[in-house]
Every structure is written in C-alpha cells, then in structure tokens.
Amino acid sequence: MSLMGMEEMIVLGKSKNSTASHKEAKLGNRANNTDRHVGARMRERRVMLGLSQQQIADMIGVTYQQAHKYERGINRISAGRLLEIAQALGVQVGFFFEGLEANESVHEISTRQRMCLELARNFSQIADKRHQDALSQMARALATK
C-alpha cells in the first residue's frame, strides 16, 4: 500500500471517530422536557407582557430565530442567558421552573390559555376604570348564562 493510501486511511479513521464522538456529544446536549418546559414558560411570560419574539430577542441580545428555539425547547438555555431572560421579563429565575414537578410532560399553551393571557394583557391596558368595570360585569353576565 502506498504512503498516500495509508494517510487516507488514517484521515478517514480520524474523521469517523470524530464524527462518532461529535454525535455522542450532541446527544448529551439535546434538549429535554425540562428545557421545553422552561421555553414554554418563557413564551407564556412574553405573551403575557405583549412582547414579540423580536422584542425579547433584542432585549437579551440574540436573533429572533434563537429566541424562537429557546421557546420551543429546541436549544438549551445557559444559566447566564436564563438570568438575562428573567431580568428582561421581570421575573425570578425560579419562575421558569414553576409547575415542573407537578407536570413532567411538555407544557404547551392551548388556544384557550393563549386567549386568557391575551385577555388579561389587554384588560390591564384599559386605562379607564369604568371601562374595566363594564367589561368585567359583561364577562360575569356572559359566564352565568
């Protein structure tokens, strides 16, 4: 076998080993249910505050694609980044882990939950107290029928 052939075998062997170890490393860094729960809580708080993904991304210094990946639990959030997100959203870091013990499955916001969050956000933005009272009374009346 020529020297060139031996070099190719060595290089191929190295690349196969490095690919295998790269895959193993990736599996160790794969997001899990906790990451998805933290992302869902991040999204829930962002929606509650009426922020877009672009706005929260700008606040924490990442692209909106990265913010989206955080919220979907695709990418893991480092401890330092989680602290930045908590500060931007005005919550303690523990907020993101609330409800995790009781619900180990992925936390998805249903359409109804999203509507409730948006209703609460919009209600809090009504400046006139009389309008808030009127809306509250109307909701009570509709709920009892």
Pair of tokens at residue 128: 């006139």
Same domain, 136 and 76: no
Compute the distance between CA of residue 30 and CA of residue 48 in angstroms, rounded to an integer: 28
Same domain, 26 and 61: no
Same domain, 122 and 103: no
Same domain, 115 and 131: yes
Give the domain range for residue 23. Answer: 1-30
Q: What is the CATH number of the domain that holds 90?
A: 1.10.260.40
CB neighbours of 61 closer than 8 A, spacing ≥ 6? 84
Is residue 56 within 8 Å of 89, Cβ to Cβ? yes
Same domain, 75 and 97: yes
Against a cut of 0.75, is the pTM above it?
no
Which tops the pLDDT comparison, 5 or 95?
Answer: 95
Overall number of domains in the chain? 3
Same domain, 74 and 45: yes
**110 — pLDDT class (breaks 50, 70, 90):** confident
Q: For the chain, give percent helix, strand, coil, nearest 5.
A: 75, 0, 25
Q: For 22-62, write each residue's pLDDT tens digit.
A: 443 445 566 788 899 999 999 999 989 989 999 999 999 99
